[in-house]
Amino acid sequence: MDRLKQILGFLVIIFVSFNLYAGAADDVKTSSDDFETSIFEDEIYDPLEGINRAVFGFNNVADKLILEPTAKGYKKLPAPIQSGVGNFLSNLKLPLVALNQLLQGQGKNAAESTGRFLVNSTVGIFGLIDIADDFGLEQKEEDFGQTLATWGIGDGFYIVLPLFGPSNLRDTTGMVMTMMTDPVNLYASREGDSWAIPLRTAANAVDQRSQIIDEVNALRDNSVDYYAAVRSSYYQNRKAAITNTDDDVLTPLPLISIEFE
């Protein structure tokens, strides 16, 4: 635990020092005259690009050799089993989701997530069945990375973590905070069942990967620079998660001009 605190402290220090530079570099604006566009980030602050690309290459091989085949195998399981596993894993995240909603001042959402956890853990048989959805208690995701962003902390530099994939300094800090505070993981450690923690992480990875097999393959097969495509996708996805963008009308996206030649 002390070791984890040291790591967290170290990450926070690095994060604060780099964040000052990152703020300016993230905010490159388009200014070309030959298209209409709204403001958006053209470049992502990636000072470790060389190392990141190497880690990304390693992750890509690991994905092709292990994760994707496992996810494809998992996809062949009967749908109720897949749903049950997915629901169970999502339910375990809910205490921290509720905490983060509270930290972001989303009292109503926190109450809904708590209700969701209670209903699904009891009536939904340890979270295997998503009964709460039928009661209008929708699944919402919030994590420490999003909470830090809501508190005004910038992205920091882009980083590709071995096996965990794309992230940035703020979200990595958030991930470490999740590891340190997750009640299920803490309980498993205390009971001497630490083996369950990596198992849970791996199960989450397989479950999530199984939901985006086609999308990842389409991106991988058709990108002139797969690394840059994933990096951009990660930032867009996180930005939408942080701002809780449900309505795409509010998303600042390019206004493409229509031309006829």
Partner 1 sequence: MQFFRILIIIFIFSIPLNVFADEAKNWLKTEIDKILYAYQNNDLPSENRFLMIEQTINNNFAGSGIAKFVAGKSWNGASKDTKLEYIKLFKRHLALNIASMMQGYSNQNYELTNTNYDEKNKVSLIDMDIYSDTGSIQVTWRVKKSKDRYFVIDLLVADISLVVTKRSEFNSMLKTVDYNLEKFNEKLIAQNDLSYSKLLN
Task: State phi, psi for 168 to the nearest 5 degrees.
Answer: -140, 180
- The interface region with partner 1, picked from 5-13, 34-42, 165-173, 195-203 by CB under 8 A, is 34-42
Out of 29, 39, 43, 199, which residue is the one contacting partner 1 (CB under 8 A)? 43
Between 17 and 251, name the residue whose CB sits nearer to partner 1.
251
Q: Residue 76, interface with partner 1 (CB under 8 A)?
A: no
Contact call for residue 218 and partner 1 (CB under 8 A) = yes
> How far apart (Å, rounded) are the C-alpha atoms in residues 106 and 95?
14
Report the sign of the C-alpha dihedral through residues 211, 213, 216, 218, in that order: negative
Q: Which stretch binds partner 1 (CB under 8 A): 6-14, 105-113, 116-124, 244-252?
A: 244-252
Q: Does 255 bind partner 1 (CB under 8 A)?
A: yes
**Of 111 and 141, CB closest to partner 1:** 141
Closer CB to partner 1, 18 or 234, in the complex: 234
Compute the distance between CA of residue 182 and CA of residue 196 in angstroms, rounded to an integer: 13
Q: Which is nearer to partner 1, 122 or 211 (CB)?
A: 211
3-state secondary structure the chain: CHHHHHHHHHHHHHHHHHHHHHHHHHCCCCCCCCCCCCCCCCCCCCCCHHHHHHHHHHHHHHHHHHHHHHHHHHHCCCHHHHHHHHHHHHHHHHHHHHHHHHHCCCHHHHHHHHHHHHHHHHCCCCCCCCCHHHHCCCCCCCCHHHHHHHCCCCCCCEEEECCCEEEEHHHHHHHHHHHHHCHHHHHHHHCCCCCHHHHHHHHHHHHHHHCCHHHHHHHHHHCCCHHHHHHHHHHHHHHHHHHCCCCHHHCCCCCCCCCCC
Q: Is 44 one of the binding residues for partner 1 (CB under 8 A)?
A: yes
- Judged by CB, which is closer to partner 1: 1, or 79? 79
| Closest distance of CB 253 from partner 1, Å | 6
- Segment contacting partner 1 by CB under 8 A, of 57-65, 96-104, 177-185, 250-258: 250-258
Task: Identify the residue among 60, 70, 83, 150 touching partner 1 (CB under 8 A).
Answer: 83
Per-residue binding string, partner 1, 118-157, x by CB under 8 A, is ----------------------------------------
Least Å distance, CB 189 to partner 1, is: 31
Q: Which residues bind partner 1 (CB under 8 A)?
A: 30, 32-35, 37, 40, 42-44, 79, 82-83, 86, 211-215, 217-219, 221-225, 227-229, 231-233, 236-237, 239-241, 245, 247-249, 251, 253-261
